[in-house]
Structure 1
Amino acid sequence: MAWIAPNYWYNANSVQIFGYDDHDHLVGETTPVTLSKNFETTGALMFGVRYLEIRADRQFGWFGVDNLIVHTPPATVPVPGAFWLMATAATGLACSKKRKPA
């Protein structure tokens, strides 16, 4: 979110957010957000982002950022015992023999 105070000539008129990966390659960006006296929102879906850059349309133009939220997807945790348990059960069933009644 970005906010601009209304009574200063040197404020930014718009901002844009850029995301870069580990090799400083651009991986995503938002559309420019025109600022007003109210809070404006923007968002983008970017993967593999190492850092964000927030640029204003004016050099030394200022703006406020509030509630910047970065979501990191949860890591997938494998269940290593599940495979071995199923394999052991299948092997046990395959190797089991029925005993004939005497």
Structure 2
Amino acid sequence: MGLITKEVERAPCTVEISHRFESLHAHVRFSNGVTVNPGDEVQVQGPEIMAPFGEVVSEEREAVIFRASALERFWTRCTGDLEVMELCEFSFSEEVTL
């Protein structure tokens, strides 16, 4: 893996989609212990998975992992905290407006 080049890796995975009142989530678990690092991109192969309300659907799939280059990993580590803060909304006033 070079400074600018990317590696592509394939891994078997389990996709779990929950569409319940208690939990609305989608998780991907790699079957062979592969880890995803900062800057990596994961693409799960196959058709869209739809879970009806009140159910949890789990399917075996294959994932393609595009490994970040050294430069991308460095940039992600440097700017990651700033990007997460964009998701937060803080208000220290007593006024509530929507």
Normalised to the residue count of structure 2, the TM-score between the two structures is 0.22
When Rg is computed on C-alpha atoms for both structures, the one with the higher figure is 1
The structure, 1 or 2, with the larger RCO (C-alpha pairs under 8 Å, 6+ apart) is: 2
Normalised to the residue count of structure 1, the TM-score between the two structures is 0.22
